[in-house]
Amino acid sequence: MGAVTYPDKNVAEFVNNNMIPVQLLFNKQPESTDYNLKWTPTIITLDTEGKEHHRTVGFFPPEELIPSLLLGIAKVHFDCDELNEALQNLDKIISEFPKSDSTPEAIYIRGVCKYKGTHEANGLKEAYEILQSKYPDSEWTKRAYPYRLL
């Protein structure tokens, strides 16, 4: 990724504006053990306490890395019950990267965010309907399958 993805202007700008990047050798101790690093490249999205929320493993081209990193940021907010912030990042993935492999998961989590924020099932059912129509073969469509009954 150092030859293709990291030097990409959009990736560099995104990382510099949204994250605090730390690069470690795969065998650096104790971090490689603490974070169960088994493959490079591995990008781990952590919260301010160092808790992992998302992991990107293997090569990603620039157009896939940014939505994956956005998904990691959204998951941090989601897991910390900062639902509005999570929704902002998820909506950005959905609108700006509709063909990304991260988008179906973003749609799924967006539905769960809406449910957690309102305790109404509409968001879950809407997520399933969007997934079914736009990403019928996605694992996230399969996970949302029960929501069709709501």
pLDDT digits (tens, 9 = 90+) for 21-35: 998 888 899 999 999
Is the residue at 18 inside a domain?
yes
Q: What single-letter amino acid sits at 87?
A: L
Provide mean pLDDT across the span 37-41: 89
Judge whether 37 lies within some domain: yes
Burial class of residue 93 (count of CB atoms within 10 Å of its CB; 0-12, 13-18, 19+): buried
Q: Give the domain range for residue 92.
A: 9-149
| Domain annotation covers residue 31 | yes
Q: Is residue 1 part of a domain?
A: no
Give the whole-number percent of the chain exceeding pLDDT 90.
86
pLDDT at 65 over 90: yes
In a domain, 2, yes or no: no
Q: What is the pLDDT of residue 5?
A: 84
CA 51 – CA 28 distance, rounded (Å): 18
Does 140 fall in a domain? Answer: yes
Overall domain count for the chain: 1
Question: What is the tens place of the pLDDT at every residue in 97-114?
Answer: 999 999 999 999 999 999
Residue 4 in domain = no
Sequence-distant contacts of 92-97: CB under 8 A, at least 24 apart? 93/67, 96/67, 97/63, 97/66, 97/67, 97/70
Q: Roughly how many angstroms between the first and final C-alpha of the chain, as a whole number?
A: 43
List the CATH number of the domain containing 140. Answer: 1.25.40.10
Write down the pLDDT at residue 1.
62
CA dist 4 to 100, 115, 148, Å?
18, 39, 41
- Is there a domain that residue 133 lies in? yes
Closest CA to 113 of 84, 76, 142, 71: 84
Task: Provide the token pair at 50.
Answer: 């160092």
